[in-house]
Structure 1
Amino acid sequence: MSGSGTDKTKTGVELTGPVVILVEPQLGENIGMTARAMGNFALTRLRLVKPRDGWPNISAQRAASGADHILERVELFDTVEQAVADCTLLFATTARAHDQAKPVVAPEAAALEMAGEFKSGGTVGILFGRERYGLQNEEVALANRIVTFPVNPGFASLNLAQAVLLIGYEWFKLSTAGALPFAMPERSEPASQHQMQAFFDNLVRELDRVEFLRPAEKRETMLVNLRNIFARMDPTKQDMHTLHGVVMAIAEGRKGPAKGGVLDGDQATRLRALLAEHGQGALPSESGTVRGLARLLRRNPTDAERILWQALTRDRRFAGEFKRQTPVGRHIPDFVSFVHRIAIELINPDETEVIARDRAMRQEWLEARGYRVISMKVEDVEANLAAQLDQLETGVLERR
């Protein structure tokens, strides 16, 4: 959400807080900004003693920035004595010493005393004086405590809203144990050593292509330093996916490798291992990373994928019915037909245990949702494509 920090969809905090009492406020804008500061810290009770420009005040409403619920409940009084009559504990805020023999406390200590008073069922009030000269001696004399702020003695004056905000902040912090409204989003789980090694191998391969790791006698030291840089990051799986994409984008450009957009066997196996590892236990909310890897695989087909894809798009039996590297839920089969509910999985020679396990889990998931999974070995596709297409046609006819 951009702009204002007020989220109308969230439930506000409700607290029994002190009564804010403004004595003869002059400007409607100051009353409105005071209401806004009160709303920030769940203070809702506002009393006005003889506001100069009367009440209601359109300037106050404009300055309240949405704190209308506070302004609508404002209580008006003709004298300070009337406004504080029900208070069992009263604080007077001032930046000047009034030479009165009563305790002087900071906002934090005042909040602690307020909490104790509320526990005993009392009513707490806080007096705030006029914009020009604050509270008079006889008004301060009504209070049990004086509240003042640790500010620059040579420039101690605060406007009404600032003073209310400082006390409201200390009260709200005490009442909510300092809980923040939000925290850093939960990071993805830490990257595994397998994932780190796959990324590092790819990085080193690309660095060797541009002869970065030279002179030769310094190569091992440079590699150790590079590895330590990434180890110190304590990276997550998401971090590794992002870094891998960065390296591939720099090395190959946005349109894929210069060799025609075809990954070699090692690269294809490595990418599928990363995708398989990330997919284990993934939640639907994590699909962004999975889809990102799918797009990378879609732009960079292996030889077998390219051959089979060309056949599927040109053969009249299948044209327009299959998609390549398209997510089905949180899984991504090599090819899928939503029309026939058929998924095609290509099996590479010498593939890792991680990939095989991921395929088995994916097949079980797809079959539970009514998809038929047809497995094709890469060597069979490259050696006898026609036979594989006939097998696929049989599967399509059976689904019909």
Structure 2
Amino acid sequence: MSGTDKTKTGFEFSGPVVILVEPQLGENIGMAARAMGNFALSRLRIVNPRDGWPNVAAQRAAAGADYILDGVELFDTVEQAVADCALLFATTARAHDQAKPVVGPDVAATEMVSQIKAGGMVGILFGRERSGLLNEEVGLANRIITFPVNPGFASLNLAQAVLLVGYEWFKLSTAGALPFAMPERSEPASQHQIQAFFDNLVRELDKVEFLRPAEKRDTMLVNLRNIFTRMDPTKQDMHTLHGVVMAIAEGRKGPAKGGVLDGEQATRLRALLAEHGQGATSSEGGSTVRGLARLLRRNPTDAERILWQSLTRDRRFAGLFKRQTPVGRHIPDFVSFVHRIAVELTNPNETEVIMKDRVERRRWLEARDYRVLDIATADVERDLEAELERLQQLLPA
């Protein structure tokens, strides 16, 4: 599981020593070290590793637990590795027919904590990947640790065994404290707030005739109310749900997320913009122009949407153009302030008011060193690439 927060300080405990007996693969040593790091175990001893030491494969598999590998102690025999241990555990999935206590990792962890608090050294033996610990090696231990696993498939990977023991020890040492908890919720919603939301919800449902047939209306209302009372909503929950209902009721908002205007609707909106743009005072006209610009952004025509997607995705134009942005009191369909280029989409059957406004806009823009390119909406839908090539010719080489 990923998610290590590098800004947090880890625990440092005087924990038990992990002793790997003749491990065969460097990858298993590295993964065992990673498991140790998960549970604040830092002391690793290795008895006669098959592929020698240091081991590049172990470092690769350690996934950041290099500090554990850097501190590895090497021994030639198990007897040497456990000589200073006051309490020694041997992990095994087989009985070995030895008369000594057999405990699970949770019970073993309790004994480890007690022994370490008393100042004693605790060691945990882990055997070879293929054959585990020998009888003589288990005979050195005070206790046997075995795991409650499927008896028909009891063999664990070396790192898995280290992880299970480390988990139980760490959980006991930290009193089971979790690294994070659910963020604090906002205050519980009041009955008044829930009722206000519910009234609004019912009002909108009535508009679409959801609560029918009439004879089932009361039952449906009770069932709906129970959905929200069961969830023990907070004030923030109610604000969010209210916003959801209103967004559904009023339609989508925001740049390039609105509806798609057909040609007739686009023509009417253009005419409205042209009429308001003429003869208005600067403050009055500016406010109207900005409002209409927002409306145009939220409700593009098919041709505008197609061309805008190309201008944002094509490397030749990416980042150069803005859509429906006021330049003074005028709103070109697309404008590049960097290269002073304005693109005007022309619709079929435009009114005289729109054409007159377009001529005035072109004159105003050209007087300020803007180059204006007219593109017919039909040409966008018929041969978009040809129109893009025309536009590219206006860009500096």
Larger Rg: 2
Q: Which residue does 1:117 correspond to in 2?
A: 115
3-state secondary structure, aligned to 2:159: helix
Change beyond 3 A, Cα 1:159–1:221: closer
Change beyond 3 A, Cα 1:122–1:212: same
Q: Which residue does 2:284 correspond to in 1?
A: 314
For residue 95 of structure 1, report the CA deviation from its aligned partner: 1.1
CA distance in 2, matches of 1:148, 1:167: 10
CA distance in 1, matches of 2:20, 2:189: 57
Q: Which residue does 2:26 correspond to in 1?
A: 28
For residue 216 of structure 1, report the CA deviation from its aligned partner: 3.0
Q: Which residue does 1:134 correspond to in 2?
A: 132
CA distance in 1, matches of 2:164, 2:281: 72
Output the amino acid matched with 2:214: A
Q: How does 1:283-302 map to 2 (within 5 A)?
A: none
Q: How does 1:169-318 map to 2 (within 5 A)?
A: 169-255=167-253, 313-314=283-284
Q: Which runs of 5+ in 2 are unaligned?
A: 255-279, 291-397
- Partner of residue 40 from structure 1, selected from 38, 41, 48: 38
Choose 54-63 or 141-150, whichever is displaced more.
Answer: 141-150
1:97 aligns with 2:95: yes
Output the amino acid matched with 1:6: T
Q: Which residue does 2:146 correspond to in 1?
A: 148
Q: Which residue does 2:81 correspond to in 1?
A: 83
1:56 aligns with 2:54: yes
Change beyond 3 A, Cα 1:97–1:218: closer
CA distance in 2, matches of 1:31, 1:312: 76
For residue 222 of structure 1, report the CA deviation from its aligned partner: 2.6
Q: How does 1:335-346 map to 2 (within 5 A)?
A: none
3-state secondary structure, aligned to 2:50: coil
CA distance in 2, matches of 1:244, 1:213: 19
Change beyond 3 A, Cα 1:252–1:137: same
Please, what TM-score do these two structures have when normalized by structure 1? 0.63
3-state secondary structure, aligned to 1:92: strand
Q: Which residue does 1:168 correspond to in 2?
A: 166
For residue 228 of structure 1, report the CA deviation from its aligned partner: 2.4
CA distance in 1, matches of 2:214, 2:134: 83
CA distance in 1, matches of 2:60, 2:5: 19
3-state secondary structure, aligned to 2:245: helix
For residue 221 of structure 1, report the CA deviation from its aligned partner: 3.1
Residue-by-residue CA offset, 1:308-328 (whole Å, 9 max, x unaligned)? xx9995289xx99xxxxxxxx
CA distance in 2, matches of 1:312, 1:156: 83
3-state secondary structure, aligned to 1:38: helix
Output the amino acid matched with 1:126: I
3-state secondary structure, aligned to 2:215: helix
Residue-by-residue CA offset, 1:217-255 (whole Å, 9 max, x unaligned)? 333333233222222221111111111111112211114
CA distance in 2, matches of 1:255, 1:5: 35
Q: Which runs of 5+ in 1 are unaligned?
A: 257-309, 321-400
Output the amino acid matched with 1:191: A
3-state secondary structure, aligned to 2:74: strand
CA distance in 1, matches of 2:171, 2:282: 64
Please, what TM-score do these two structures have when normalized by structure 2? 0.63
CA distance in 2, matches of 1:313, 1:122: 83
Change beyond 3 A, Cα 1:312–1:35: farther
